[in-house]
Structure 1
Amino acid sequence: MLAVKGAKIYPVVGDVIENGTMIIKDGKIKAIGEDLDISKVDGVLDFTGKVIIPGLIDAHTHVGMWGDGEGRPGYDGNEAVRAITGEVRALDGVNPRQVSFAGAREGGITTIQILPGSANPIGGLGFACKTAGNIIDEMVVKNPTGLKGATGENPKRAHGEAQKHSPATRMAVASLMREYFKDAREYGEKKAKAKEEGKPFTVDLNLESGLMVLNKEIPFRVHAHRHDDIVTVIRICEEFDINYTIEHCTDGHLIAEYLGKKNVTAVVGPGLSAASKVETKDMTDENPAILASSSRP
């Protein structure tokens, strides 16, 4: 065991401890307080004048999937040659030695969700992990955490503009999502029937991801900036009765009352970037506060 003493500690809940002590065992916080017995610890660190806060959590990242300065050799976040890639898994594309992990740790972020990029209407499975470690499988907290989806400019550009195939419009993005979940639902029915009848069944990893969403085992996590894209996501998810989150939700402040009425869960941000696309032109730092005032989760 290790003790850290003399620090100003901000607990997750409760009052700030001005002259606190923290006991750590096997890499986990065992206790925090003012007058803890540290007679049996193996070592003591003096943190007088320092501050300890809980590890931060980043709910939407692509850490380790794009190598800084590496160009195409380190580009592993989007399987953009096809629009529907429910079978791919972010876990298989993450390099835990990539510099962004160190940057996250140095910024106090200890847990992150890593999602595939936003080129595809159906982009693959995400997972949550710690930012410390060398073997990604040993860093995993939960896998999978959701199925990534994307609307708006990104899938239009990656497919319609770059490759001259669908989707080239927002209509096609929505249509492909609907078709995917329709296929996944029919696949699930056939799978259940085969099991009931004791017949062999061929697993489709692409549709298995959609089936997990339909069965409410994981949510559909959808990249959406523009207000009408957000509404489209809500519409589709209600059609298929699935749990979902709006990732980014940049225009959420423009339709906050509607999102409150729909009880939408949003992962908002990033907040320190420029409005680099037409669909982000209405971004504002006030977005999280406006959404919070509308009773958003």
Structure 2
Amino acid sequence: MFRPSRIAGALALTLGLAGCGGEDKPTNEPQDFSRFDAFPSTYSLQQEQDVLIRSATVLTATGEQLQETDLLLKDGKIAKIGKGLKAGDKALVIDAQGKWVTPGVIDVHSHLGNYPAPSIESSQDGNEITSPNTGQVWAEHSVWTQDPQFALALSGGVTTLQILPGSANLFGGRGVTLKNVPGRRVQDMKFPDAPYGLKMACGENPKRVYGSKGTAPGTRMGNVAGYRQAWIQAEAYKKKWDAYNKGESSDKPDRDLKLETLAGVLAGEILVHNHCYRGEEMAIMMDVAKEFDFKVSTFHHAVEAYKVADLLAENQVCSAMWADWWGFKHEAFDMTEANIAIVDQAGACALIHSDSSVGIQHLNQEVAKAMLAGQRAGFDIPPREAVKWFTLNAAKSLGIEDKTGSIEEGKMADVVIWSGSPFSVYTLAEQVFIDGVLMYDRKDEKRQPHSDFDLGILDAEGERV
């Protein structure tokens, strides 16, 4: 197994410090629910040599397509962008003449590790269907880091992905954003300082799952009542903690893991990722968000997003959509293949997502289909703009756009070198860098990670049989 230097180093000190400090004391500040994170990131991937990529066509995801351009990756960051750049003697120099470079692919909706391969019942750990509100569960606690599908996603250029709980519940629990690197435990993969996500679901799934049991919710109006009641409880919980920390109350509240997650949303620390297909339901969810003074970060699937594209733009809500996956149930039926383009042209944040262990391997091609559909609908959408749909807009959805998602100096050196235009069906990701480290090279088997589960039988010399 390819293990980059220091990626899973011993970081017991970090974990130990997280538990220090004794009793909580009033701070005269509102409650910071992020301090309850008992599972901090231990991600540590360090670039050991500079990388100079020469003479590429670069899609920056900031609206530019640069020809015959060089990139210098240094100390895990994009250090310079320009022509005729120089690097030290020990640098890895790559001739990218005729090739294209983009930021790393970001998938905001994945279940890798929670629904790993091989797909057997004993490892299906993405849906906690014991209650309509399971805000207390965290997707990361089901992630099997040995899932071979992580490496397959990497071969498609995916450098960052969000793992979400399933959509059986009104509140499915916390999602986690990962760097797509090998790790002994999920904390070795956790994107540093990325906010958590709260998975919510509207529509058919929760009412079907619980209505079939004869419990609430059994209707869409029951769904909305369930959200509102939960947010009322979360508001009361947050007020108790804020009063305690401001010294307005001497009664320290008992911790409630379910309400802690919802209160984190109300405090602006946790982002809402909402499974929602129909236009009018997205409008209702935005109204619920206004009632309780929080923001929906992203609607997922959003087959009818084109119907409310103006509302999405007005409320600054992203939509994560498929290019042409629709019609598999009633609420997914009223689709247009120009969906992503219409949302984008309305000035809203549009992006692709997979919700699939296969689709995640070719999100660039999914964007190509959506771009073409938009062009057929009469929109002027060039590659320099469409690239945002699998890079920068996805980073915005996850609250990490200040760190990754575009090729700009100072950002994480998460970069893909493609054999040609990433919008061609014939193009493959040739080399994938994460924080400046060459994590995948299509022509070098030593730079093609395999999980321990995937390695197979070794002979006496340690070669694969």
TM-score under structure 2 length normalisation: 0.59
Distance 1:264 1:143 in 2: 19
Partner SS state of residue 178, structure 2: strand
CA distance in 2, matches of 1:222, 1:8: 38
Taking the aligned partners of 1:143 and 1:89, their CA distance within structure 2 comes to 15
8 Å CA contact retained: 2:310, 2:348: no
- Specify the alignment match of 1:156 in structure 2: 207
1:83 to 103, 119, 132: 132
Contact 1:125–1:144 (8 Å) recurs in 2: no
| Percent identical residues | 32
Gaps of 5+ in 1: none
Task: Rate the CA distance shift 1:39–1:190 in 2: closer, same or farther, 3 A.
Answer: closer
CA contact (8 A) 1:145 1:219 kept: yes
Residues 50 and 88 in structure 2, CA contact (< 8 A), matched pair in contact too: no
**Residues 130 and 140 in structure 1, CA contact (< 8 A), matched pair in contact too:** yes
In terms of mean alpha carbon deviation, does 149-158 or 65-74 score higher? 65-74
Query: Which of residues 165, 168, 171 in structure 1 aligns to 2:221?
Result: 171
State the AA in 1 paired with 2:303: T
Out of 278-287 and 31-40, give the one that drifted further.
31-40
Equivalent residue for 2:168, pick from 119, 124, 130: 119
Instruction: State the partner residue of 2:51.
Output: 3
Q: 1:282 to 1:37 in 2, by over 3 A?
A: same
Instruction: Give the alignment's TM-score, normalised by structure 1.
Output: 0.89
Task: Give the direction of change, closer, same or farther, for the CA distance of 1:295–1:42 in structure 2 (3 Å limit).
Answer: closer
The equivalent of 1:207 in structure 2 is 259
Structure 1 distance, partners of 2:272, 2:157, is: 28
SS at match of 2:196: strand
What is the DSSP-based 3-state SS (H/G/I as helix, E as strand, rest coil) of the residue aligned with 1:82?
Answer: coil
- Helix, strand or coil for the counterpart of 2:199? strand
Alignment of 1:201-240 (within 5 A): 201-240=253-292
Task: State whether structure 2 residue 147 is matched by structure 1 residue 98.
Answer: yes
CA contact (8 A) 1:218 1:243 kept: no
1:108-135 Cα shifts (integer Å, max 9, x gaps): 1211222211111011112222112224
Q: Which amino acid aligns with 2:215?
A: H
Aligned to 1:16, what secondary structure does the other structure show? strand
Provide closer, same or farther for how the CA distance between residues 117 and 35 of structure 1 changes in structure 2, counting only shifts above 3 A.
Answer: same
RMSD (CA atoms) = 2.2
Q: 1:242 aligns with which of 272, 294, 318?
A: 294
Cα gap change, 1:266/1:39 in structure 2, threshold over 3 Å: closer, same or farther?
closer
Question: Residues 33 and 143 of structure 1: is their aligned pair in 2 closer, same or farther, counting only changes over 3 Å?
Answer: closer
The alpha carbon displacement at 1:288 in A equals: 1.4
Q: Distance in 1 between the 2:341 and 2:165 partners?
A: 27
Report whether the alignment pairs 1:283 with 2:335.
Answer: yes
Task: Give unpaired runs (5+ residues) of structure 2.
Answer: 1-48, 350-465
Among 291, 297, 304, the alignment partner of 1:251 is 304
In the alignment, the residues of structure 1 paired with residue 145 and residue 53 of structure 2 have an alpha-carbon distance, to the nearest angstrom, of 31
> Residues 4, 222 of structure 1: CA spacing in aligned structure 2 closer, same or farther, 3 A cutoff?
same
How many residues are aligned here? 294
> More strand per residue: 1 or 2?
1
Match of 2:189 among 135, 139, 162: 139
